[in-house]
Structure 1
Amino acid sequence: MGFVLSDELLGAFAPILVYWVYSGIYVGLSSLESYRLHSKVEEEEKNLVSKSNVVKGVLLQQFIQAIVAILLFTVTGSDAESSTQQSSILVLAGQCVIAMLVLDTWQYFMHRYMHHNKFLYKHIHSQHHRLVVPYAYGALYNHPIEGLILDTIGGALSFLISGMSPRTSIFFFSFATIKTVDDHCGLCLPGNVFHILFKNNTAYHDVHHQLYGNKFNFSQPFFVMWDRILGTYMPYSLEKRKDGGFEARPTKQVRD
């Protein structure tokens, strides 16, 4: 018999594979200057961390996430048990929506707090903002403590509260990974389905990475509801730059 990966192992490692494959696609597309939010010159001049250190930081976070995921699956039950539970499409969809809302809620409030707490911002969250000009494979470049709090614990809560099985989590967290990478890709490509379906997209998050948007657009990775409800939404418009490409510009001043 051939070797078969369990749902638990796939749930832990599939999102990691998806991250690097999807990021690689955007690396190949990064030369399309007419669709970039920042030029390559800006990327080199403004970013405060080398790409090799970004890769190392992401791999460290993914290693921690994989370990936590395996432990979580071990504690909550085996794939053999979950495979015996037949769920309807409606139930699976409901679990995914709940997981999206839980993840968004957790990340919004933790993310916002890391910006407003000077100690946490200086020593932890500022590491992610070394990427003033975000790019795809830098999506998970965070301080290890931030990665644990925002992404790993947030993912664990969404998994537990939604009640999804390890098999369902393979698809949900792979989708969440793709969405997160897309939000940091720095490209506004025509026909991008994420830009059509979600207000929380590449340009929306790019605003947050700029100095003028540092206290706005905290929501990630799916919806913008908490920003709108709590007054941290910064409206913007996409304008053509003189050197080609686009730029997300605020359409009005918003007081913090």
Structure 2
Amino acid sequence: MVFWDGYVSDEVMGTFAPIVVYWLYAGFYQLLPPLDNYRLHTRKEEDEKNLVPLLAVIKGVLLQQLVQATIAHLLFLLTSSTTPSVTVVQPSIIVQIVQIVIAMLVMDTWQYFVHRYMHQNKFLYRHIHSQHHRLVVPYAIGALYNHPLEGLLLDTFGGAISYLISGMTARTAAIFFCFAVVKTVDDHCGLWLPGNIFHLFFQNNTAYHDVHHQLQGTKYNYSQPFFPIWDKLLGTYVPYKLVKRPEGGFEARLIKD
């Protein structure tokens, strides 16, 4: 039993809830005060290094979400029982947790190899993936700022494959996709806040991904959004240390041999 029972279907929640959650969570970060003592980059660096204005970022994210919602809706129509006479039996909590873990591993695997290839293929990087790296200093609203083709291949297809392989229901998918969205936004927020649960439980976190956005880190730390497994297995992991800046805030500084 979930709070939306009797109001909207699981398929509708799976399609639109991740979009709503994205803007609520990213908007929360956007409305925070400057918090200079917790930033991984100064506000001056954000203004000087980023190559795309906020309005263009918002438009790019909305376009990607339109494509995602369309494909998610079609996927749910093809795989779910949507007739009123059919009641979907939800699996136990344990089974749903296992399905979510499987989906996390599948999504990580898909995104690692597609993401890495987009860096290694000069044509794809120059014409597709470099759009995301126009945000040299990441911030929350820009988490899904990508070229439309990258959004389709990396995020939309990655989510669809995770859903299909894990065997989860639309209800479990709604929960999983909302969690994945929150994690992705947090990874791009640019803040190292005390008590952040994602920093406590995930080694792949805000600083980890910030390293990848740095010029000297673009060939490392491809893993997203959950675990650094593939980076560590395939030699693309680079450690870092958080160093306090004299003017306030932190710097994720690479540790290389």
Q: TM-score, normalised by structure 2?
A: 0.95
How many Å separate the matches in 1 of 2:211 and 2:176? Answer: 26
Match of 2:21 in 1: 18
Q: How far apart are the structure 2 equivalents of 1:28 and 1:236?
A: 29
Partner residue, 1:69: 72
Distance in 2, Cα, partners of 1:8 & 1:132: 36
**Residue of structure 2 equivalent to 1:105:** 109
Residue number in structure 2 paired with 1:198: 202
Pairs within 5 Å for 1:1-256: 4-29=7-32, 31-79=34-82, 83-253=87-257
Measure, in 2, the Cα distance between the counterparts of 1:81 and 1:113. Answer: 46
Cα deviation for residue 29 of structure 1 reads 2.4
SS in structure 1 at match of 2:144:
coil
Taking the aligned partners of 1:86 and 1:5, their CA distance within structure 2 comes to: 16
Task: Report deviation, 1:6.
Answer: 1.3
User: How far did residue 251 of structure 1 move?
Assistant: 1.8
Residues 208-245 of structure 1: per-residue CA shift (max 9 Å, x gap): 00000000000000000000000000100000112110
Q: Distance in 2 between matches of 1:109 and 1:65?
A: 20
Task: Describe the shift of the 1:27–1:163 C-alpha distance in structure 2 as closer, same or farther (beyond 3 A).
Answer: same
**What displacement does 1:86 show?**
3.2
Q: Tell me, in whole angstroms, the C-alpha distance in 2 between the residues paired with 1:243 and 1:110.
A: 38
RMSD: 1.4
**CA separation in 1, counterparts of 2:248 and 2:112?**
33
> Retained in 2: the 8 A contact 1:8–1:78?
no
TM-score (norm 1): 0.96
Q: Is the 8 A contact 1:203 1:248 kept in 2?
A: yes
In structure 1, list runs of 5 or more residues that go unmatched: none
- Provide the C-alpha distance between the structure 2 equivalents of 1:240 and 1:82, rounded to a whole number of angstroms: 57
Query: Which amino acid in structure 2 is aligned with residue 25 of structure 1?
Result: F
Unaligned 5+ runs, structure 2: 1-5
Q: Tell me, in whole angstroms, the C-alpha distance in 1 between the residues paired with 2:200 and 2:7.
A: 37
Secondary structure of 1:138's counterpart equals helix
CA contact (8 A) 2:10 2:170 kept: yes
